Structure 1
Amino acid sequence: MSTAELLHQPGWVWAASAIAMALGWLVQRRSRNAGIVDAIWTAGMGGSALYYAAMGEGLADRRLALALLGSLWAARLGLHLGLRILGEAEDGRYRHLRRHWHDDQRKFFLFFQAQALLVALFSLPFLAVAANRAPWSGWDGAGIAVWLVALIGESLADRQLARFRADPAHHGRTCRQGLWRYSRHPNYFFEWVQWFAYLLLAVGSPLSWMALLGPVLMLASLYWITGIPFAEAQALRSRGEDYRDYQRRTSPFFPWFPKDSSP
């Protein structure tokens, strides 16, 4: 298969994601919970990994690894998000957007469709891995090791935060326990680390440059666009001075020692 033919595949990923996001937008209209967009995005990423693994012409063992890593990551995160969406009210970030946009469903539809485009863009590292015909090497082992570290770190951060939030005594307070002592967003940090796994798995691929998009796009998205800015704005609205103190003490993204002892 030529490079031009391979590049048709992200178009199919985009189309499928656009349909899924349109359906998600309809569900959001009825449920008044836009958090479903995160679950659909995650499912789209897992589905794209399976699709590229099935359609690719790279080494079979590497494509199997891609299918397993992409789907297992999506299943874990999707379950975490799904339980949160079903068990809690709409995330404060989306409630703020709903108020800011005066519940304009045209804007929500465009927002959902923008997420469909992002699925296609973020899936390109998977395409690079699926096209890699190079023999299995230490790069692949390193990629799987990085993926494991990222999955364990992100899962631990999510579990620590969920346990903290489940205690009514912590209402209005900021989690400073475990990994959250060293980073204000350890879950985001390990989400970013995960994309280096596909960069390593793509070493030797004719499309290896695409794998660079994973960590680059994810860092930009988390640090400057939809991740930290939205999450911290909501945290300041809900936790005020307690969160400002946390900001002064704690690294925003990369884990590091706090400036002084946590209260």
Structure 2
Amino acid sequence: MNELRWGAFGWNVAVSAGVVLAVVLTAFLIGVRTGKHRGVDVAWGLGFAAVAVATYGVSAGEGDAARRLLVTVLTAVWGVRLAVHIGRRSRGHGEDPRYEQLLAKAPGNRQWYALRMVYLLQGALIVLVSLPVQIAAYATRPLSLPLSFFAVAGAVVWAVGLFFEAVGDRQLARFKTDPAHRGRLMDRGLWSWTRHPNYFGDFCVWWGLFLIACEAGPLPALLALVSPLAMSYLLIGGSGKALLERHMAERPGYAAYAARTSGFFPRPPRRG
């Protein structure tokens, strides 16, 4: 990525921000109309897919065509799958307790508070976290072996992540549909190897996309590193694993499950 392409990349970031703003504002209007703001979680995945598609169009002629297509497809597949899964999971349910608790503390108008603290905040995170997708589109090194080691490695890590996320979500959904499992903890399949296969999957997806962006050069790679670091924090110590486990800690059998099952990175369950 030379000096001239930095200008084009900056324009790409601006376009991506505009696209994300359109996505989150649409979700906000739907939330106001329905009285439920949990739809912002659907907009999360769709926002990344929108950035990937917009970047593919804006970066035409700026980077290697094969790499541009690769990051677009990988990001869009991940984002749309996540949005569809969350949309199906939330169908027929009321407001998400997280947003209900947050908005109960709103100083003033709840809707404007939701716009600022939920929608616009998540929109800003989408633009930040999607930096590897945008940067990779401007890498000019041809996508051909052996120069594309990072692209191949990144795609493999991304695939591992999608597997854990998609299979873990599917296993949990099937477990919950069985009335015999009501009140029981999911501790089978991937959930016996890690307490959070879906979060671990997200972790791998964004580290994989970061690896692809590394081929843009040292300085762009350093900028792209912000993305997987931010996602790692959110998934492990922020609104992901840490928050969920605080809610799960009092459930019967959870202490024993936590003792034998890895908290994040997969490993065989301990015997005991």
Distance in 1 between the 2:253 and 2:174 partners? Answer: 19
Is residue 2:42 matched to residue 1:29?
A: no
Name the residue aligned to 1:76: 81
Q: Quick one: which amino acid aligns to residue 7 of structure 2?
A: A
Q: CA deviation at 1:100?
A: 5.3
Give TM-score scaled by structure 2 length.
Answer: 0.86
SS at match of 1:251: coil
From 99, 104, 110, give the equivalent of 1:104. 110
Is residue 2:52 matched to residue 1:41?
A: no
From 131, 142, 152, give the equivalent of 1:135. 142
Cα deviation digits, residues 32-75 of structure 1 (max 9, x gap): 33221111111010111112222221101110111111111112
Change in CA separation of 1:224 and 1:38 when aligned onto 2, cut-off 3 Å: same
Is residue 2:92 matched to residue 1:121?
A: no
Name the residue aligned to 1:2: 5
Is residue 2:171 matched to residue 1:164?
A: no
Q: CA deviation at 1:220?
A: 0.6
Answer whether contact 1:50 1:66 (CA < 8 A) is retained: no
Stretch deviating more after TM superposition (82-91 or 121-130): 82-91
Fraction of identical pairs, as percent: 32
Matches within 5 A, 1:203-218: 203-206=214-217, 207-218=220-231
From 93, 109, 115, give the equivalent of 2:98. 93
Change in CA separation of 1:93 and 1:180 when aligned onto 2, cut-off 3 Å: farther
Q: Note the aligned Cα RMSD (angstroms).
A: 2.2
Matches within 5 A, 1:215-226: 215-226=228-239
From 250, 257, 260, give the equivalent of 2:268. 257
Q: CA deviation at 1:233?
A: 3.1
Answer whether contact 1:154 1:187 (CA < 8 A) is retained: yes
State the aligned residue count: 259
Change in CA separation of 1:114 and 1:80 when aligned onto 2, cut-off 3 Å: same
Answer whether contact 1:129 1:201 (CA < 8 A) is retained: yes
Q: CA deviation at 1:125?
A: 0.6
Q: CA deviation at 1:146?
A: 1.9
Q: Which runs of 5+ in 1 are unaligned?
A: none
Distance in 2 between the 1:33 and 1:232 partners? Answer: 24
Name the residue aligned to 1:240: 251
Distance in 2 between the 1:107 and 1:99 partners? Answer: 10
From 37, 62, 68, give the equivalent of 2:67. 62
